[in-house]
Amino acid sequence: MNKVLKIAECCGSFAENKDSAREMRESILRPAIETPRQKVVLDFEGVDSSTQSFIHALLSDLLQSFGEKALDRIQFKNCSKSIKSLITAVVSYSLE
């Protein structure tokens, strides 16, 4: 079962609010990762860019807590080139 989280609905075209990212992480992403067979689609449609601190607040704690298992439960969709780059950087340093 997939849950779709549309980032633009809460953040607009520029995802920068770390508090919103933390709220999404704790209310949606963490429960999904802790639930067997649950997956979350992070849909970045309509988001042109983001800050690294937003992506960090959204993902880093989960990656540090669950390791690569978290990536098995999260799908990234409609990411711009700059957002892909930020996600790659955050995943890389969070899993070290």
Per-residue confidence (pLDDT) for residue 27, from 0 to 100 = 95
pTM: 0.94
Per-residue confidence (pLDDT) for residue 12, from 0 to 100 = 95
* DSSP annotation string for 6-64: EHHHHHTTEE--HHHHHHHIIIIIHHHHHSTT-EEEEE-TT--EE-HHHHHHHHHHHHH
Per-residue confidence (pLDDT) for residue 1, from 0 to 100 = 72
Q: Which domains does the chain have, with CATH numbers?
A: 2-94 (3.30.750)
